[in-house]
Copies of this chain bind each other. A is one copy, B any other.
C-alpha cells in the first residue's frame, strides 16, 4: 500500500475478491471507520476494541505502531503517545468481508492499555442470576 497515493486503499471488489483475494480493501463504514480488535500478542488477552479511519490504518501499517481514530475526541490517536503504552504491531489480520481488523500487539511502557489503569478494557464480567445481570470486576 502506498499512502502517497489517494485514496490509500482500493475499493472493495467482488464478494469473491473480498473474501478470497489477496488485496486489502477494508470496508470502512458510513462514518469512515472500521472496527479494530486489539490483542496482546504474547498473552492472547483482548486489550481493547477501537476504530480506525483510512489514515489511522495507513499510519499503523507504515509505522508498525497502532494508530486509531478517537471518536470521543474526533482526532487521530497514536496510542501511547502520552502514556508510553505504545502498541508495536506484530500482526494484522482482516476478517472475511473486510469490515473488521485484528491487531496483535506488544505493549510498551507499563504494559497497560485501558485509561482506567487496567491492562485490558474488558475488566468486567457480566454475571447472570435470577434473570438479572450484574457487572463484576474479575
- A residues whose Cβ falls under 8 Å from a Cβ of B: 1-2, 19-24, 35, 37, 39, 44, 46, 48-49, 61-62, 91-96, 99-100, 102, 114-116, 118, 121-126, 128, 131-136
What separation, in Å, do the CA atoms of A114 and B96 have in the docked complex? Answer: 8
Whether B49 contacts A126 by the Cβ 8 Å rule is: no
Contact of A122 among B20, B94, B133 (CB under 8 A): B94
What separation, in Å, do the CA atoms of A85 and B48 have in the docked complex? Answer: 26
Contact of A125 among B19, B93, B134 (CB under 8 A): B93
Minimum CB distance partner of A102 in chain B: B122
Whether A125 contacts B91 by the Cβ 8 Å rule is: yes
A120 to chain B, nearest CB (A): 8
What separation, in Å, do the CA atoms of A61 and B116 have in the docked complex? Answer: 26
- Knowing A49-B100, A100-B49 touch, does A122 contact B135 (C-beta < 8 A)? no
